[in-house]
């Protein structure tokens, strides 16, 4: 269900995917926000997440706790 590899910001860092999940969070190698497709992700829709740029800003939980 994860569409991270199709994102303009995505960089292939091995098996890093699903940055929205709390146990994944920010990428260790993606550092530029070149665009975001999180709003169309089946994972985000199914879990009712509302944030974006999980790869650079952290998981849904991390971003929500900062607000």
pLDDT value at residue 66: 81
Evaluate the CA torsion angle 35, 11, 52, 48 in order and state its sign. positive
pLDDT, tens digit only, all 67 positions of the chain: 889 999 999 998 888 889 999 998 999 999 999 999 999 999 999 999 999 999 999 999 999 998 6
DSSP 8-state code for residue 40: G
* Cα-based torsion angle of the residue sequence 66, 27, 60, 52 in order, rounded to the nearest 10 degrees: 100
Question: pTM, whole model, 2 decimals?
Answer: 0.88
Enter the tokens of residue 7: 């994102």
């Amino acid at each position: 269900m994860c569409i991270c590899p199709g994102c303009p910001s995505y960089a292939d860092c091995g098996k890093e995917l699903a940055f929205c999940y709390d146990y994944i969070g920010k990428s260790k190698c993606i550092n530029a926000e070149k665009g975001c497709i999180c709003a169309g992700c089946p994972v985000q829709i199914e879990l009712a997440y509302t944030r974006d740029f999980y790869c650079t800003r952290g998981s849904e939980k991390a971003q929500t706790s900062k607000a």
